[in-house]
Structure formats: C-alpha cells, structure tokens
C-alpha cells in the first residue's frame, strides 16, 4: 500500500496521502491529521499555496 484517503474534517472532500522519502504511510497520515488546524489541507501546504498565489499576483502587477 502506497497511499491512503484521509478526511481531515467532517463533510469535506478527502485528502490523498502517500508515502515519501523516509516516511511510511502510517506516519504520513498521522502528520497530515496533526497539521490540520481546522482546514481541509494541512497547514504547511495551505501556507505554501497562499504564498505562491501572492507571488503570482505580485508578478502580474
């Protein structure tokens, strides 16, 4: 097994979690749930997405 479907909150679409460099599936799921902070997407990924969107807006102006 290389991945899992994880619901980080009730009544939201799931997040697909997979194994990575030096991390197994159990730890990947545990870290995903620990980084939830009330949003569907884990906080580090959410912050990276927000920063990328901000950089794109600034590049367009």
Residue 47 has pLDDT above 90, yes or no: yes
Residue 53 has pLDDT above 90, yes or no: yes
Question: Which pLDDT score is estimated for 37?
Answer: 86
Question: Which pLDDT score is estimated for 38?
Answer: 87
Residue 46 has pLDDT above 90, yes or no: yes
Residue ranges covered by each domain of the chain: 3-60
Q: pLDDT tens digit string along 4-43? A: 999 999 999 999 999 999 999 999 999 999 998 889 999 9
Question: Which pLDDT score is estimated for 36?
Answer: 87
Planar angle of CA 17, 21, 27, nearest 5 degrees: 50
- Residue 20 Cα to chain centre, angstroms: 13
């Amino acid at each position: 097994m290389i991945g899992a479907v994880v619901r980080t909150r009730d009544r939201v679409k799931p997040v697909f979690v997979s194994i990575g460099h030096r991390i197994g599936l159990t730890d990947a799921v545990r870290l995903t749930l620990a980084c939830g902070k009330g949003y569907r997407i884990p906080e580090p990924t959410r912050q990276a997405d927000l920063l990328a969107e901000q950089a794109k807006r600034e590049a367009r102006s």
